[in-house]
Every structure is written in C-alpha cells, then in structure tokens.
C-alpha cells in the first residue's frame, strides 16, 4: 500500500511539473514569435504575426492545475507552510492530539473540496460549459484537475492521520524539524 501511495504522490507531482513545462513552452513560443517579428520589422520584412491564442487563459488553467496537483506530494514532503508555534509550546505529549485534530479537520475540509470541485466539473461537463477565450476550452478539464488535486491531498492527509495515530508524529515532521534548525536539504 505504501508503494502505491508514494507512486500516486509522485505521479501527481510529475503532472504538476508537466503543467509548468507547458506554461514555459507556450510563453517561450509567444516571446520568441514577438522577438522574431521585431527582428523582421527592423529588417523591413513582413512580420509573421504569430500569437498563441488564449495564452493568458490557458496559462492560468495550467498554473491552477499545477498548484492543485502538487498539494498532496508537497504535504508529504513537509513543504506546506504550517504555523507550528503553538505545537512547539505544548510539548510532545499534547502535540499528538493537536496534530491529529488538525489533520482530521484538514482531511474533512479537503474531502469536501474534492466533492464540491468534482460536482462542479461534472456540471460543466453535463452542460458543455466552455471558457470565453479565443480557444473555447471545456471547463471540465481545468475543474477536473482541481478535483484530482484535492483528492490526492485528501488521501495524503488521511495517510498522515494514520501515520500520526500509529507512530505519534506525521512523516513530514522530520522535514519541518530540519527547516526549524536550518538543516533543510
């Protein structure tokens, strides 16, 4: 089970990275085309007029997808920002129940967000909703990536909840402790 969960987190993180690569490629194409047009104009030649249609909109969809798809793996890596001042003040004995409470509430909130965004994506699919850009993107695509990202986050939170209940501390605590003492790697 552990190997399957780790593969899920890794896959989600790779998909997030691919979204960022897609943004870089699309923006690079647009910038390169503008530079080429500028050079052609300077030489007195006809410009290509090449543009990436709906670049801002598609880039926004890809950025949202990357952000949400990376949530679960980021939690497992200990790179989420958590306010741990209270946890460090209460000591180890009282820290475990607080960690369990926080992880439980977070898992519930993430599960609700998963359900809501999945419902939103299904509604967009049922009504064939599209974006208003030059390229009408079916809204089910970006909305589904949000639902998938929330689902992976929910699984990661439940995984950490189980880890904390079984071992007394979440697996990401080691990364947090390293950051606290300045030995992050």
Give the model confidence (pLDDT) of 91-101 as tens digits: 788 888 999 99
Distance from C-alpha of 11 to C-alpha of 135, rounded to nearest angstrom = 28
- What per-residue confidence (pLDDT) applies to 169? 83
Residues constituting the chain? 185
Q: What are the tokens at 29?
A: 């194409």
Dihedral of the alpha carbons of 39, 41, 46, 47, in degrees to the nearest 10: 60
Domain boundaries, the chain: 2-180
From residue 91, alpha-carbon distances to 57, 74, 95, 97, 151 in Å are 47, 25, 6, 11, 32
Give me the pLDDT at residue 184, please. 55
> What values do phi and psi take at 148, rounded to 5?
-65, -45
Q: Residue 150 contacts by C-beta under 8 Å, 6 or more apart in sequence? A: 68, 71, 110, 113, 114, 117
The CA dihedral of 88, 107, 114, 24, to the nearest 10 degrees, is 30
Crossing angle for the helix pair 140-167 and 2-42, nearest 10 degrees?
140
Q: Give the pLDDT of residue 24.
A: 98
Which stretches of the chain score pLDDT less than 70? 83, 179-185
pLDDT confidence of residue 172: 82
Rounded Cα distance between 151 and 131, Å, is 24
**Distance in angstroms (rounded) separating the CA atoms of residues 66 and 120:** 19
User: For residues 148 and 69, is the Cβ–Cβ distance under 8 A?
Assistant: yes
């Amino acid at each position: 089970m552990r190997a399957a969960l780790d593969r899920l987190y890794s896959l989600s993180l790779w998909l997030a990275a691919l979204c960022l690569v897609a943004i870089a490629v699309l923006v690079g194409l647009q910038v390169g085309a503008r530079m080429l047009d500028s050079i052609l104009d300077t030489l007195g030649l006809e410009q290509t007029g090449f543009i990436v249609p709906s670049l801002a909109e598609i880039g926004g969809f890809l950025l949202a997808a990357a952000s949400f798809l990376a949530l679960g793996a980021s939690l497992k890596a200990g790179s989420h920002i958590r306010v741990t001042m209270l946890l460090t003040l209460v000591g180890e004995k009282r820290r475990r129940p607080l960690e369990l409470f926080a992880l439980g509430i977070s898992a519930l909130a993430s599960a609700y967000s998963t359900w809501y965004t999945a419902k939103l994506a299904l509604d967009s699919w049922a009504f064939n909703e599209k974006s208003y850009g030059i390229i009408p993107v079916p809204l089910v695509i970006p909305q589904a990536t949000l639902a998938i990202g929330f689902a992976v986050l929910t699984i990661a939170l439940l995984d950490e909840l189980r880890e904390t209940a079984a071992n007394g501390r979440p697996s990401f605590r080691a990364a947090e402790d390293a950051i606290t003492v300045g030995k992050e790697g």
